[in-house]
């Protein structure tokens, strides 16, 4: 299955490698570096790279490439999902997943990777089980290990490992019993010059943080479950119940986990929450051009759009820009030709705008196409697909837990053509 794992930073240095079967030479990564050079951005590196004797499968997260080396054909999504699980585990253990943190906790990293794969096949990938096998690092434990020469490896086999619910350990106790759910939706869209939607889809997830005593059995129902398309569940969800009743029934893992991820691709279900009015003009035989954009809310159900950042890659012929924003701050880099405008919150009574002129190269021909505008934004307490949780019930335990649900919509790859 998976022979080796290489961790590569953004400057192209291999700062950690782990081999489960035979040792694979670092030179295999040369094929990856070639693909990286051809890609304009880190996100555009192909996730699967065939080489004469191996396949390289990679994911890019937290400015680190996680590259798995395999020698025989396997379902690529299987390996990619495992790599994402590795990143999530590191984040869970260390708080953040970054190169300095991984280097500082290199012993724990190797111990965790040793447990996650057995001879190249996934073994223990649930955070709860791993934390019983390998204790997360703390300052006190690090000091004790240094003095006594002991390790973070646990003495006993995890209690959940042998049960029918391996994702949950037994004998969990909390003084405050609480279950929180976050519905987070990312909207990817391309809007054309006239404001019509070319393509739009929503990638959504429901993240949970459940801290409940004992072995609770939860059911989560939705007002409109038919919205959910192309759904992927955590192993704890009883799939037959979902198929027959469209209700999520599960014994939850202890702590934080991703309950499900889903996809809404039907154009009529995807509401576009913002609009951009733009007037960008380049004139032939003139060294000046006009630039004007206004951002406003649309179909937000009265919720505020915040954290708005507008970026645009200007044509090479633009030497400089003299712009005045009605709110927020803007920057223009004359070298990379990147315009960035940090808008902040949108006030519907006074829409933010950015107006001014562009200095163009003298004698240069008019650009073939106008620049595209990219948007980032967040809307709290709104799931743009219209998904709503109806109720959460608990069975199998006597106490009443505290329950909470939060919605958020944010921009994924949101592009407006001008």
Mean predicted lDDT score pLDDT of the chain: 90
Q: Report the range of poorest mean pLDDT among 18-22, 30-34, 125-129, 361-365.
A: 361-365
Q: How far is 94 from 109, CA to CA, in rounded Å?
A: 10
Per CATH, which fold does 2-148 belong to? Beta-Lactamase (3.30.450)
Residue 319 has pLDDT above 60, yes or no: yes
- Beta bridge partner(s), residue 357: 290, 322
Return the half-sphere exposure (C-beta side, CA atoms, 13 A cut-off) of residue 257: 22
Task: Give me the mean pLDDT over the 195-213 stretch.
Answer: 93
> Please, are residues 280 and 291 in contact by the beta-carbon 8 Å criterion?
yes
Task: Find the helix packing angle between 106-116 and 76-94, rounded to 10°.
Answer: 140
pLDDT at 368: 78
Among the CATH numbers 2.60.40.60, 3.30.1950.10, 1.10.260.40, 2.60.40.1170, which is that of 178-270+382-416? 2.60.40.1170
Domain at 274-380, CATH class: mainly beta
89 φ/ψ sector (left φ>0, alpha ψ -120 to 50, else beta):
alpha
Q: How far apart are CA 296 and CA 348, in angstroms?
A: 7
- The 10 Å CB-count burial string (b at 16+, else e) for 252-276 is bbbbbbbbbbbebeeeebbbbbbeb
The percentage of the chain sitting over the pLDDT mark of 90, rounded to a whole number, equals: 67
- Is a pLDDT exceeding 70 seen at residue 232? yes
pLDDT at 365: 75
pLDDT digits (tens, 9 = 90+) for 102-142: 999 998 999 999 999 999 999 888 887 888 888 888 766 66
Q: Say whether pLDDT at 146 is over 70.
A: no
Q: Where are the domains of the chain?
A: 2-148, 178-270+382-416, 274-380
Residue 161 has pLDDT above 80, yes or no: no
**Dihedrals phi, psi of 413, to nearest 5 degrees:** -100, 95
Alpha carbon distance 240, 49 (integer Å): 37
Q: Supply the pLDDT for residue 145.
A: 63
* Ranges 196-200, 258-262, 361-365, 372-376: which has the least confidence: 361-365
Task: Let me know: does 80 contact 57? Beta carbons within 8 Å.
Answer: yes
- Most confidently modeled of 45-54, 277-286, 298-307, 354-363? 45-54
Domains 2-148 and 178-270+382-416 agree in fold? no
pLDDT of residue 42: 86
The residues near 55 (Cβ < 8 Å, ≥ 6 apart) are 48, 49, 69, 70, 71, 73, 76
Burial of 101 (C-beta count, 10 Å sphere; 0-12/13-18/19+) = middle
The residues pairing with 248 across neighbouring beta strands, listed in sequence order, are 220
- pLDDT of 160 higher than 60: no
Decide if 205 contacts 260 (C-beta within 8 A). yes
Contacts of 24 (CB under 8 A, 6+ apart): 3, 4, 54, 69
Which pLDDT score, from 0 to 100, does residue 163 have? 66
- Give the pLDDT score at 154: 67
Kindly report the pTM of this predicted structure: 0.84
pLDDT value of residue 136: 86
Task: Identify the pLDDT of residue 67.
Answer: 97
Of 284-288, 337-341, 351-355, give the lowest mean pLDDT range: 284-288
Q: How far is CA 261 from CA 269, 300, 387, 406, in A?
A: 17, 22, 13, 16
- What is the pLDDT, as a whole number, of residue 144? 66
| Residues 55-89 pLDDT 10s | 999 999 999 999 999 999 899 999 999 999 999 99
Q: Could you give the CA distance from residue 135 to residue 110 in angstroms, rounded to a whole number?
A: 13
């Amino acid at each position: 299955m998976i022979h080796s794992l290489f961790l590569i930073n953004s400057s192209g240095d291999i700062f950690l490698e782990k081999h489960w079967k035979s040792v694979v030479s670092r030179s295999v990564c040369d094929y990856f570096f070639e693909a990286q050079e051809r890609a304009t951005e880190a996100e555009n590196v192909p996730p699967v790279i065939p080489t004469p004797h191996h396949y390289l499968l990679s994911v890019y997260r937290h400015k680190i490439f996680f590259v798995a080396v395999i020698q025989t054909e396997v379902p690529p999504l299987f390996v990619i999902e495992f790599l994402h699980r590795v990143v999530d585990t590191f984040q869970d253990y260390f708080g953040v997943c970054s190169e300095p943190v991984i280097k500082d906790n290199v012993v724990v990293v190797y111990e965790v990777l040793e447990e996650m794969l057995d001879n190249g096949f996934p073994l223990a990938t649930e955070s709860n089980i791993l934390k019983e096998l390998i204790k997360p690092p703390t300052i006190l434990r690090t000091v004790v290990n240094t003095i006594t020469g002991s390790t973070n490896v646990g003495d006993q086999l995890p209690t959940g490992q042998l049960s029918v619910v391996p994702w949950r350990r037994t004998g969990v106790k909390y003084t405050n019993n609480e279950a929180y759910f976050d519905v987070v939706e990312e909207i990817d869209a391309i809007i054309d010059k006239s404001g019509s939607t070319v393509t739009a889809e929503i990638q959504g997830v429901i993240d949970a943080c459940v801290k409940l005593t004992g072995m609770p059995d939860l059911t989560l129902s939705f007002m409109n479950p038919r919205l959910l398309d192309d759904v992927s569940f955590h192993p704890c969800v009883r799939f037959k119940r979902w198929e027959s009743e469209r209700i999520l029934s599960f014994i939850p893992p202890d702590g934080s986990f991703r309950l499900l991820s889903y996809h809404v691709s039907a154009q009529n279900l995807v509401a576009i929450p913002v609009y951009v009015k733009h007037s960008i003009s380049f004139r032939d035989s003139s060294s000046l051009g006009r630039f004007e954009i206004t951002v406003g809310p649309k179909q937000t159900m009265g919720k505020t759009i915040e954290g708005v950042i507008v970026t645009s890659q200007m044509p090479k012929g633009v030497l400089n820009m003299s712009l005045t924003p009605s709110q927020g701050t803007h920057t223009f880099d004359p070298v990379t030709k990147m315009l960035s405008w940090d808008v902040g919150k949108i006030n519907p009574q006074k829409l933010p705008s950015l107006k001014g002129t562009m200095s163009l190269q003298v004698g240069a021909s008019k650009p073939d196409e106008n620049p595209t505008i990219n948007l980032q934004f967040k809307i709290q307490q709104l799931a743009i697909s219209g998904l709503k949780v109806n109720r959460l019930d608990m069975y199998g335990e006597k106490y009443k837990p505290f329950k909470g649900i939060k919605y958020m919509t944010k921009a994924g790859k949101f592009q407006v053509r001008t």
